[in-house]
Amino acid sequence: MSSPRIGFVGIGLMGTAMVLRLREQGFPVTVWNREPERLPAVVEQGAVAAASPAAVAAASDMVLLCVLHADAVRDVVFGPDGIAAAAPAGGLLVDLSTADPAATREMVERLAREAGPDWVDAPVSGGPPAAREGRLTIMAGGAAAAFARAEPALRAIGGNITHLGPVGAGQVAKVLNQATVGTGYVLMAEALALAEAAGIDAAMLPDALAGGHADSALLRRIYPQMQRRAFDPPGGYARQLLKDLEAVRRFAEEHGLSLPVVEAARRRFADHVAEGQGMSDSASVIRLYRPDPPR
């Protein structure tokens, strides 16, 4: 059986990594990005550039999206030359972006009224290295039949894939993921700052705490990255994590909740971005507490 033809809209850090992985797994991929200068990295590996999101949809059995936020999703789906203009009824759209759950449901309802493609929301976590190695964590929402159609492409890029329920369920899980990640980055920065100020060998801390209650992927991956000040090239932008934390705050407010720990982390990232670090790696938030050591 031949692999489905994949369309991919959004060739940023994550999109590039996912397209390269899909190509390595044998999928034909047609791509579009608002900034065309990002396309050569994937075209050189066999992806085919298209002139618009509509052209991507016309050339594909399913279209995957990975763009900045819900407004960007809405634009590439419903805007001029958008996916909705060319994707047929019975087609499939898989949104890998991090977007607002309510906005996702509203767009799905609009697409259904227009007899457009089925929709699976499947936000991802793990960063570009995990995408390149096919081990992303993917949280999916959508009808069971639509998820089953999306699964071959998701299996190519993901190692832990969970179908959580109807459309929007994946985005709800991603909100919770980003609340954990955003507060975790700030916690790792504060733990490292205290370790360095106290004069211990800060690099030893993850091994020293391994197996205890403090052990975590953040302690094993993000803390050492901060300790080494290994921020280039960025694996994810601070401005993006700030955007995600702002989305967590809005989601909590919609449900009548105040989340003071998440709000404190949001303020820390807002301070960091205000200092001109928006395009720096999210782990560079340690710079709010400690300067980079001399090289």
pLDDT tier at 11, thresholds 50, 70, 90: very high
pLDDT for 24 equals 97
Whole-number pLDDT of residue 294: 78
Residue 295 has pLDDT above 80, yes or no: no
Whether cis (ω within 30° of 0) applies to the bond prior to 233 is yes
The predicted model scores a pTM of 0.91
Whether the pLDDT of residue 66 is over 90: the answer is yes
Let me know if 174 is a catalytic residue.
yes
**Which CATH architecture describes the domain 172-288?**
Orthogonal Bundle (1.10)
Residue 152 has a pLDDT of 95
pLDDT at 234: 92
Q: What local confidence, expressed as pLDDT, does residue 45 receive?
A: 96
Q: Is pLDDT at 2 greater than 80 in this prediction? A: no
Q: Where are the domains of the chain?
A: 6-165, 172-288
In the set 174, 239, 272, 290, the catalytic residue is 174
Average per-residue pLDDT for the chain = 95
Q: What is the mean pLDDT of residues 176-182?
A: 96
pLDDT at position 90 is 84
Beta pairing partners, 138: 124, 161
pLDDT-derived band at 230, boundaries 50, 70, 90? very high
- Per-residue pLDDT tens over the stretch 248-286: 999 999 999 999 999 999 999 999 999 999 999 999 999
| pLDDT tens for each residue of 74-121 | 999 999 999 998 988 889 999 999 989 999 999 999 998 888 899 999
Check if the beta carbon of residue 76 is closer than 8 Å to that of residue 63.
Answer: no
How confident is the model over 6-25, as a mean pLDDT? 97
Rounded distance, CA 272 to CA 250, Å?
Answer: 20
pLDDT confidence of residue 1? 57
pLDDT for 5 beyond 80: yes
Q: What is the pLDDT of residue 248?
A: 95
- Domain covering 6-165, topology: Rossmann fold (3.40.50)
Residue 115 is predicted with a pLDDT of 82
CA nearest 57: which of 109, 111, 97, 20? 111
Per residue in 39-64, pLDDT tens? 999 999 999 999 999 999 999 999 99
Q: Give me the mean pLDDT over the 195-221 stretch.
A: 97
